[in-house]
Amino acid sequence: MDFKNSLPMYLIGGALILFIIAQSLFFLIKAWKRGKELGLSSATLRSTVTTSVLFTIAPAIAILTTVISLAGALGLVLPWVRLSVIGNLSYETVAATAAMEALDHAGGMAVEVTDQTLFATIAWVMTVGSIFPLLLLPIVAKPIQKKLNTAVAKSKSDLPDILAAAAFIGLIGAFIARAIAGSGKDEIIGDGAGVLSIITLVSAIVISLILETICKKAKAKWMQPFVMPLSMFLAMGIAVVAFNLLPPELALLEWRG
């Protein structure tokens, strides 16, 4: 039996999703009532809700892409639950891969997890690791914010934006390095640096640059949140096409695991 997609897993996942939906509806109703108490019109409240819904579409597409990316190795339920609660592509992939490497799972995310102990370990690493920000932020966020505000006031620069950009670039740099250099484990086949990883990487970069240019030329700010998820989807599609069109010896060519 495929325990990753079994009925008990779907029941657990369904219960969690129902709780999240109920929580969202609870706060939506409370916010609507509070808006009425403040004298906001129904039209204004509906417009706010509509805008919020529209702005969640792009992140939802990115989350769907991540679920698809992880489902091959971890099944559908675990990625679905993890990314419905809290998580993103960068964290979930790194956490799952770290657990796999710790237990010597050859092939990484490219090979399906069939061992229950490994699957449970991955689930714990992905889940427990994401709890720490929720515990630490209420304690450390305010002091850090004060320090940043003081530093910005003294330097009169865009220091927070610079730090955020630097952190994002560093994170993306780690994924780019993996696509070019691999994991360093030569015995792993199918998850290393090779022709397909480079094709996917270059395709994503080119597509994102094209979409960013379109956004700037057409002054379509509404489109900017969709650049990353669209680039991910299209790059994945190009990788699938390349795998089916290229000769097998070229499509599966890897110079490092």
Maximum mean pLDDT: which of 27-36, 60-69, 218-227: 27-36
Residue 65 pLDDT greater than 80, yes or no = no
pLDDT range class, residue 158, cuts 50, 70, 90: low
Per-residue pLDDT averaged across 82-86, rounded?
Answer: 82
Q: Which of helix, strand or coil describes residue 186?
A: coil
- State the pLDDT at residue 196: 82
Per-residue pLDDT averaged across 161-181, rounded?
Answer: 71
Please state at what angle helix 77-85 crosses helix 7-37, rounded to 10 degrees: 20
User: Per-residue pLDDT tens for 184-216?
Assistant: 555 555 556 778 888 888 898 899 899 889 888
* C-alpha closest to that of 200 among 228, 233, 174, 226: 233
Residue % of the chain over a pLDDT of 90: 10
Residue 226 pLDDT greater than 60, yes or no = yes
* C-alpha closest to that of 243 among 200, 185, 191, 187: 200
- State the pLDDT at residue 189: 54
